[in-house]
Structure 1
């Protein structure tokens, strides 16, 4: 009898195509069939994992959910099942971001963080400083995805760049003066940007940027999407680089993204689901069928591979320093509700011209409440 598994991922070629390709290979090897459903990026960032675990054997998640899923007990932890090669090959903190309370709840299959995207056909070089970015913004040549939760991710990255990354264990998430300075910078930057950015996620911005007549030459903070770096994926090929810096600093503190593959604790075929997850997260699949089918691997072997880089205009090498220096968001049970509320408060405050310190005070209050403080 054929074993059939159901998986849930997110609706973009980067999220679906590599899993479909790897599942086809897996079926040829093992006879286990995996059918993948897709949900929107917005759902991916907010939909309860517990509900998905009732209906799917394999679930692609992001790391801020791990505190909640630990309480709910809806995922099967990997613990010692994962070979050391997966942790050893992790890019930046991708593997560590799925470890919570001593257990590993997902394996990184996709590594991403906020980097810089730019139009190589229009700019002589990637902007390296925030001063250069602001000059381009004043000329109407910059976009920034600000749809929640991406506005909050931008604030996270800027505060870390300014030397005060968020205190994930609290009680105050943000250092008040530094975060106020970051809010003021974000307000000034967005004042020179098309207001539609407040309703756009990274995919929407990329789709606009990749059109020949787009007036977007630079997106200074956006989660990297390797597909847009491929020749022929869209009318215009987008280039990528490390995020801009203040005062000659290193590209450190970008808010880590990416995805991990998790196994439902409620499925009827958990061992079979676990076996696929272990294979798709390890080096052979990551640098092979996963990368070639449009994935953005989480394994360093793929990020360092010459062929993988050549296909993507050196996307991986050009952004590796930013990813290696990325910052891991809070992950406690209660964080997801905070992320949604904080993003909304930030956007309302920026657009209403609230004092930056008042915005930061509200964000810190919401964070204390999320901790139960």
Structure 2
């Protein structure tokens, strides 16, 4: 018998389904039974820790980790995760790859192995108060036209200033990667982001996506956010949809994967439990019923799942399918944080755009990513 400890992120979307799943085979007096005598207990960290905490440190303390794909470069460099495809059959991996929405599986493929199972799928979409704004802007020019009213907010806290810049850059046909920095498109994106951020509601620039959506829902002083990570848990009150377009849809994939650390010796019961979480039926029923945001395309295409989510999945699926995958080189997470600081200094503090672009270009030069 083994007592496993997992770490997830502290939000109903990140916690509720995992805790309920770990308890589904409970016997008398147990709340975490997996079967075979093994147990799994979940702890949670704030969203900011999930986005920036050292994967090496966390892997030394936990057996099961919910992580974001940009941590993979550091994880591979430290050799702190089990390649999860070696614990599954070839057929299981094939079904995952074929059945996941967007790049949910591909984002966890690195160095010829799959390192995490994509439990949760998310990307940046638009959010609006439907009674205040009947339809979202279709283009960046239309979105900028709303900015002067002071009721448009931007996701700029933590890493999100940079991720928003990346998404606008992608929508303009450019790319920011270890091998390609499209300075022209990034410069245009920075101009758009600056214009959109010129008159945001006071204090909104310091809020993470959860805080922004919660303020939008409860305070009513934000009518529209062009790019923010979608949360199905807010779909009863807010309308989610595609972001404004440039040449194409631009969005940066988020979501989470479940990884097994080298600290653990995964038992058949633990592997079976994680496989069950990714099974299509589980993704269509159990996960949505427990506040989760599934990664299976079948869930996103299911009319009943969509209706229960107030149309969240049908409104955002095209954006999810097109979402861009961030780099995964070792050291990427602090580079992302520094890049966000640079973007904020240009967007909010008036730093010359040329200087900001110089620094961003330098940060994304000659950064090898494991293929």
Question: Normalization by structure 2: what TM-score?
Answer: 0.92
- Bigger drift between 320-329 and 31-40 goes to 31-40
Q: Does 1:86 align with 2:85?
A: no
Aligned-residue offset at 1:256: 0.9
Aligned to 2:81: 75
Deviation string 1:35-66 (CA, Å, 9 cap, x unpaired) is 11110111001111221122212110010011
State how 1:290-305 maps to structure 2 within 5 Å: 290-305=287-302
Aligned-residue offset at 1:19: 0.8
Aligned to 1:262: 259
Distance (Å, rounded) in 2 between the aligned partners of 1:275 and 1:218 = 42
Structure 2 counterpart of 1:182, from 189, 205, 217: 189
Deviation string 1:227-274 (CA, Å, 9 cap, x unpaired) is 0013xxxxxx0111111113xx442x3111110000111114454433
Distance (Å, rounded) in 2 between the aligned partners of 1:107 and 1:268 = 17
Aligned to 2:340: 343
Aligned-residue offset at 1:276: 2.0
State how 1:73-222 maps to structure 2 within 5 Å: 73-80=79-86, 81=88, 83=92, 84-166=94-176, 168-170=177-179, 173-211=180-218, 213-222=219-228
Contact in 2 for aligned 1:263/1:273 (Cα 8 Å): no
Q: Does 1:50 align with 2:56?
A: yes
Deviation string 1:121-152 (CA, Å, 9 cap, x unpaired) is 22222332223322222112211120120000
Contact in 1 for aligned 2:34/2:273 (Cα 8 Å): no
Structure 2 counterpart of 1:332, from 308, 323, 329: 329
- Per the alignment, in what secondary structure is the counterpart of residue 178 of structure 1? helix
State how 1:234-273 maps to structure 2 within 5 Å: 237-246=237-246, 249-251=247-249, 253-273=250-270
Distance (Å, rounded) in 2 between the aligned partners of 1:35 and 1:132 = 48
> Could you list the runs of 5+ residues in structure 1 that have no partner in the other structure?
231-236
Contact in 2 for aligned 1:334/1:371 (Cα 8 Å): no
- Per the alignment, in what secondary structure is the counterpart of residue 9 of structure 1? strand
Contact in 2 for aligned 1:64/1:329 (Cα 8 Å): yes
Distance (Å, rounded) in 1 between the aligned partners of 2:75 and 2:351 = 35
- Per the alignment, in what secondary structure is the counterpart of residue 331 of structure 1? coil
RMSD, matched Cα: 1.8
Aligned to 2:29: none
Contact in 2 for aligned 1:142/1:216 (Cα 8 Å): yes
Contact in 1 for aligned 2:34/2:270 (Cα 8 Å): no
Aligned to 2:11: 12
Q: Does 1:38 align with 2:35?
A: no
Gap change, CA 1:176 and 1:151, over 3 Å in 2: same
- Per the alignment, in what secondary structure is the counterpart of residue 203 of structure 2? helix
Aligned-residue offset at 1:188: 1.2
Deviation string 1:196-218 (CA, Å, 9 cap, x unpaired) is 2331110110110011x411111
Aligned to 1:234: none
Contact in 1 for aligned 2:172/2:248 (Cα 8 Å): no
Aligned to 1:22: 21
Contact in 2 for aligned 1:26/1:32 (Cα 8 Å): no
Contact in 2 for aligned 1:149/1:343 (Cα 8 Å): yes
Distance (Å, rounded) in 1 between the aligned partners of 2:162 and 2:61 = 31
Contact in 2 for aligned 1:181/1:356 (Cα 8 Å): no
Distance (Å, rounded) in 1 between the aligned partners of 2:343 and 2:142 = 25
Q: Which runs of 4+ in 1 moved over 6 A?
A: none
Question: Normalization by structure 1: what TM-score?
Answer: 0.91
Contact in 2 for aligned 1:18/1:289 (Cα 8 Å): yes
> Could you list the runs of 5+ residues in structure 2 that have no partner in the other structure?
27-32
